[in-house]
Amino acid sequence: MIRYPALACALMISGFTTAALAVPQVYTVDPLHTFPTFFAAHHGVSHWSGKFNKTSGKVWLDREHSTGKIDITIDTSSINFGVPILDKIMQGVDYFDTAKYPTATYKSESITFSNGMPVGADGQLTLKGVTKPVKLKIDHFACIKNPMFNLEECGGDASADFDRAQFGLTKAVEGGDSTVHLVIQVEAYLGDSLPPMPPMPPGMGAPGAAPPGAPPGGRPPG
């Protein structure tokens, strides 16, 4: 027999509220503000940098339990060294072989927190059909209320080192130096999809239209 039904009801509501707050929050990666950049030895005399122009995916954060997960997909054909002929070479069978392996992925089922902030992840990188563990270090993380969309936006900088030879990228490894240093700036919006773009200011295109050069469904940098 429940002698204090109002109290019992309040406790039940409180329990449901706590459970709801414990649900991991999903963030959708913004492709206009997320670019994996890499540095690798070139002929043993310098280190060249390149980046991938197309990245998508989601990040889940469970702040109450200090964990989360990551699911990121990179379009390997979007590789960009700033030298078109080199980009074509890197897309070929000697390197990324993008016709056969059009994407690379990074997945992690656990994000490490310290003092309430994400600081790293132990995940699996899949590249050229090969999957290997790669530890990701989160060097910076912050969240704001984006004024353009009135929506929480989180982002940060992450880094990792891996051996490209382990993924079959053995072409032109000079002096045994096959280490790739990966640096990623990432921004993502709270929710299971990206927010719709607001009407554009005069002179920047029709209302609701993407700016010149933006991918379908994209938003202006801001």
All domains of the chain, ordered by start, with CATH? Answer: 32-190 (2.40.128.110)
Residue 14 has pLDDT above 50, yes or no: no
Residue 125 has pLDDT above 80, yes or no: yes
CA distance 104 to 96: 10
Residue 166 has pLDDT above 60, yes or no: yes
Give the pLDDT confidence score for residue 177 in this predicted structure. 85
Residue 75 has pLDDT above 60, yes or no: yes
**Phi and psi torsions of 21, nearest 5°:** -70, -25
Top pLDDT among 48 and 71 is at 71
Tell me how far CA of residue 108 lies from CA of 61, 67, 146, 182, 213, in angstroms. Answer: 12, 11, 26, 16, 32
Task: Evaluate whether 171 touches 165 at the Cβ level (below 8 Å).
Answer: no
Residue 10 has pLDDT above 90, yes or no: no
Using 50, 70 and 90 to split pLDDT, how confident is the model at 104? very high
pTM of the model: 0.79
Q: Residues 6 or more apart from 29 whose CB is under 8 A from it?
A: 55, 56, 57, 58, 59, 72, 186, 187, 188
By DSSP bridging, strand 179-190 and strand 111-114 are unpaired
Region 18-30 average pLDDT:
77
CA distance 105 to 129: 10
**Least confidently predicted of 180-184, 196-200, 208-212:** 208-212
Q: Residues 6 or more apart from 101 whose CB is under 8 A from it?
A: 76, 127, 128, 129
Top pLDDT among 198 and 94 is at 94
Using 50, 70 and 90 to split pLDDT, how confident is the model at 211? very low
Q: Residues 6 or more apart from 140 whose CB is under 8 A from it?
A: 156, 157
Residue 207 has pLDDT above 80, yes or no: no
**Least confidently predicted of 44-48, 87-91, 147-151, 192-196:** 44-48
CA distance 93 to 82: 20
Residue 220 has pLDDT above 80, yes or no: no
As a whole number, the mean pLDDT across the chain is 85
Residue 210 has pLDDT above 50, yes or no: no
Residue 17 has pLDDT above 60, yes or no: no
Top pLDDT among 41 and 79 is at 79
Top pLDDT among 92 and 177 is at 92
